[in-house]
A and B are shown apart, each in its own frame.
Chain A
């Protein structure tokens, strides 16, 4: 989606931290999401953050939201080979429509 932007690729060494960045334009966004899609599979909701939060942590995942700059990031600690996938950032404002970014392909190398 043109309203949500992500870098297309990220390569990271196994065991390092990955940081995937996303910017969005809609200031009325209420929820921001991170989805993971493995090859040939559907989308898996990883985590989401409400727009009045700055940070959310869930095990190896940390989401940071800078609402002023409309910037969202997903940090994956101790990245594993199973984390190789396409990661989609998405936003919604309670109108049932998820606006997705184009996705970031994360490749984990040994």
Chain B
């Protein structure tokens, strides 16, 4: 199994809503990532978890709250988002250590209205 599965595929939410994005992998990877990608731009790193602990936060606003409940799951909790937060949110996973080959999920297309 070399898949990273993200749910939902599409999400529309209002600026006062609270929602969560989910990501799951069963490759035994102990590093998991959230990226944000705007249209026609490269992905931008948001968060990195290593061994279920947050190791990198790229100065992401607190309205985005990541959570890694176990080694297979990664969540991104969303609250009070702005329309400019609309983007494709990509989850990725990789081995920890010298091999940083990252596998990406298909993404969640988020629209904030």
Contacts and interface: CB of A to CB of B under 8 A. Distances in A.
Interface of A: 1, 30-31, 33, 35, 40-45, 48, 88, 92, 94, 96-98, 100-103
B50 A100 contact: no
Interface in B1-53: 4, 6, 31, 33, 40-43, 45, 48, 50
Contacts of A100: 42-43
Given A1-B42, A98-B100, 12 more contacts: A31-B101, A33-B101, A42-B90, A43-B104, A94-B100, A96-B31, A96-B50, A97-B45, A100-B43, A101-B42, A102-B41, A102-B42
Interface of B: 4, 6, 31, 33, 40-43, 45, 48, 50, 55-56, 88, 90, 92, 94, 98, 100-107, 109
A45 B102 contact: yes
B106 to A, nearest CB: 4
A31 B42 contact: no
Nearest to A101: B42
B56 A97 contact: yes
Nearest to B92: A43
Contact of B45 (A33, A40, A98, A103): A98
B42 A103 contact: yes
30 contacts: A1-B42, A30-B100, A31-B100, A35-B104, A40-B109, A41-B107, A42-B6, A42-B88, A42-B90, A42-B104, A42-B105, A42-B106, A42-B107, A43-B90, A45-B103, A45-B104, A48-B101, A88-B42, A94-B100, A96-B31, A96-B33, A96-B48, A96-B50, A96-B94, A98-B45, A98-B100, A100-B43, A101-B42, A102-B41, A102-B42
Nearest to A8: B40
Contacts of B107: 41-42
